[in-house]
Structure 1
Amino acid sequence: MTKDGQRAPKDGRRKSKERHRAPQHGQRPRADGGPHRHTAVAARRSRDDAYRAGFVCFVGRPNAGKSTLTNAIVGQKIAITSNKPQTTRHVIRGILHKPDAQLVLVDTPGLHRPRTLLGTRLNDLVKEVWSEVDVLGVCFPADEPVGPGDRFIAAELAALKATVIAVVTKVDLVDPATLAQHLLAVGELHDFAEIVPVSAVSGHQVDRLTDVMIGYLPESPQLYPDDMLTDEPEHVLIGELIREAALEGVRDELPHSIAVLVEEIIPEDGLTKIYADVYVERDSQKAIVIGARGSRLRDVGTQARAEIEKLIGTRVYLDLHVRVAKEWQRDPRQLRRLGF
């Protein structure tokens, strides 16, 4: 997907059943160089004006603000957000272009104690991404105390070679005294290269965080074209926007039981036809998603269509059906079919 929402033209009808795969991070070798020195980023950049490019991964427990921060830095919605944990299910990459750098942001699912086969696979995916990036930004929400989940993640960081930065998110939700105490608690978890408090909602220190992360990237040629904001397949982004709309209003009843499979995307003159299925695990959940006389499903279609039109830049005809895939989160065959 490019900056202006345009796609490469494709003729006729195309299927959209490719599996969602963990991305392969570029074709360049990893930066080596041994242990990272905790040198001030400004000093590094003043001595060295070479072009930098690389991969940064935001990690943290579920609902730590990773997706909201990714969208704020890229400047466009590429990852869905929710006030419920474990909303992100795929590795989504957003690309920030600067005159002297290219920052590839990797948004991952939150690391959590898995209760299903899906949860186990998501945790494995997160750890695989950790081993491949140049910088890790560990997100700690300022409005929640440091807890066992944060300490578990901090312990997992010890063996990694990447530079590790602490990002204290949601600082707009706390007073200065609470923030100061939280920063001290975060600093005791790990020997972080930097600790940066930010608010993705207000934009507070988002630019500073970007500069800090770029300062730790390796010297590298540009990895992606100037006009690319994400390398995610179009059907993945569309499916995520539909899932976000489907979650609206039903997060308390079935926050983790909804999956979306985009079956067909048909581009026509000034109109894109999209056919997608919304999957739940039980018949009772199907009734919740559809709503009385189809009212909730119509709302899902209206909300999703508006977001998809912003994404692809054309009018959209969206055809949605709700289907039951029993216990799909625990069924390897169903998980493969749904792209996990």
Structure 2
Amino acid sequence: MDNQRSACIAIVGRPNVGKSTLLNKLIGEKIAIVSKKPQTTRTRIMGVLTEGEDQLVFLDTPGLLKPRNPLGDYMVRSITAALEEVDACLLVTEAGAPVSKADQELVQRFRRGRLPALLAINKIDLLADKSPLMEQIAAYSRLYDFRAVVPVSARDGSGMDALSDELKALTQPGGWLFDEDTLTDQPERVLAAEFVREKVLRLLDQEIPHGVAAVTEIMRERGELLELHVTLYCEKANHKGILIGKGGAMLKQIGSAARADLERFFGCKVNLQLWVKVKEDWRQRPETLQGLGFSQRDFQL
């Protein structure tokens, strides 16, 4: 206990810069779903990394955006709540991208809270010419006094060891916040539903995936088999038909892809059953959001 050190760190940034991929890489386990679509992360996700005497508690947040509905309001409130709880922040941006309005707003919040912050410039593997990085680093350094600026690739692991070292430098004495074997605060039922929603995001295009929520209705063990019943909620009847597909083909494809991830994560065979139901305009209705698991309790560490 005397030598144990910890830090609680919010991972923030505009949508689709790779925050969840970065968290998964840091933790060494997939606990946050990822896709190329913005707004993949809807809730605050906690991940814990314990190595030696250091424990890093990460709060992965939705990308900062202008809310257009109660779900968007919920996502922005989750960012605000995270910044009020943490010891430091990790701002994630994309290699070669200019300073965004979202970045500027987040930095203003750092300044108001007098929060130590690190900058991770992600996706450097996609930048063939690395020379713009120096200009980008200079632009962000003028914006805020970051403790460190680390170019990384969450996809191939470049720079991740250096980032981890800089994050550990933020830890303070006083013991750990969680047991050594803690990985996340996400219930297994929530993780299972999110793995299914990830496949919807990856397999379908345009607006339909953003109007889909996934809820695990049944989760039970049957010997060495894990039985999961997950319901996909969409906003319109025609979206239900698209999710199911001709002869159930799309729903089968979603289920097959999700089952592979679920079996890797849980380490056993999974019997996954999927259903699709319509809840009209669920993103616009606060009471429906509560019923689908978007609770104010999510803002508490």
The two structures have a TM-score, normalised by structure 2, of 0.93
Is the 1:265–1:272 contact (alpha carbons within 8 Å) kept by the matching residues of 2? Answer: yes
**How has the CA–CA distance of structure 1 residues 81 and 123 changed in structure 2, closer, same or farther, with 3 Å as cutoff?**
same
* Deviation at residue 143 of structure 1 after TM alignment: 3.7
Given the alignment, which residue of 132, 137, 141 partners 1:178? 132
Q: Does 2:49 match 1:96? A: yes
* Deviation at residue 253 of structure 1 after TM alignment: 4.0
Over the residues paired in the alignment, what is the CA RMSD in angstroms? 1.4
Query: 3-state SS of the aligned residue for 2:172?
Result: coil
1:240 paired residue number? 194
Is the 2:55–2:171 contact (alpha carbons within 8 Å) kept by the matching residues of 1? Answer: no
* Deviation at residue 269 of structure 1 after TM alignment: 0.4
1:156 paired residue number? 109
Q: Does 2:150 match 1:196? A: yes
Is the 1:138–1:164 contact (alpha carbons within 8 Å) kept by the matching residues of 2? Answer: yes
Is the 1:59–1:137 contact (alpha carbons within 8 Å) kept by the matching residues of 2? Answer: yes
How far apart in 2 are the matches of 1:243 and 1:116?
A: 20
* Deviation at residue 309 of structure 1 after TM alignment: 1.1
* Deviation at residue 235 of structure 1 after TM alignment: 0.7
* Deviation at residue 156 of structure 1 after TM alignment: 2.4
How far apart in 2 are the matches of 1:97 and 1:147?
A: 33
Q: Does 2:35 match 1:82? A: yes
Runs of at least 4 residues off by over 3 Å: none
Is the 1:172–1:199 contact (alpha carbons within 8 Å) kept by the matching residues of 2? Answer: yes
Query: 3-state SS of the aligned residue for 1:275?
Result: strand
Which structure's residues are more often helix, by fraction? 2
Q: How many residue pairs align between the two structures? A: 292
Q: Does 2:166 match 1:212? A: yes
The two structures have a TM-score, normalised by structure 1, of 0.83
* Deviation at residue 140 of structure 1 after TM alignment: 1.1
The farther-off stretch of 244-253 and 134-143 is 244-253
AA partner of residue 183 (structure 1):
I
Give per-residue Cα distances to partners, 1:194-251, cap 9 Å, x unaligned. Answer: 2111111121111111111111122121222222222211111111101001222213
Q: Does 2:216 match 1:262? A: yes
* Deviation at residue 329 of structure 1 after TM alignment: 0.4
Q: Gapped runs of 5+ residues in structure 2? A: 295-301
Give per-residue Cα distances to partners, 1:22-55, cap 9 Å, x unaligned. Answer: xxxxxxxxxxxxxxxxxxxxxxxxxxx9431121
- Tell me which of the two structures has the higher relative contact order, counting C-alpha pairs closer than 8 angstroms and 6 or more residues apart: 1
2:257 paired residue number? 303
Give per-residue Cα distances to partners, 1:146-171, cap 9 Å, x unaligned. Answer: 22222222222211133111111111
The farther-off stretch of 155-164 and 241-250 is 155-164
How far apart in 2 are the matches of 1:58 and 1:83?
A: 18
How far apart in 2 are the matches of 1:65 and 1:71?
A: 10
Give per-residue Cα distances to partners, 1:88-118, cap 9 Å, x unaligned. Answer: 0121111112112011121111111000110
AA partner of residue 101 (structure 1):
D
Q: Gapped runs of 5+ residues in structure 1? A: 1-48
Q: Does 2:31 match 1:67? A: no
The farther-off stretch of 214-223 and 269-278 is 214-223
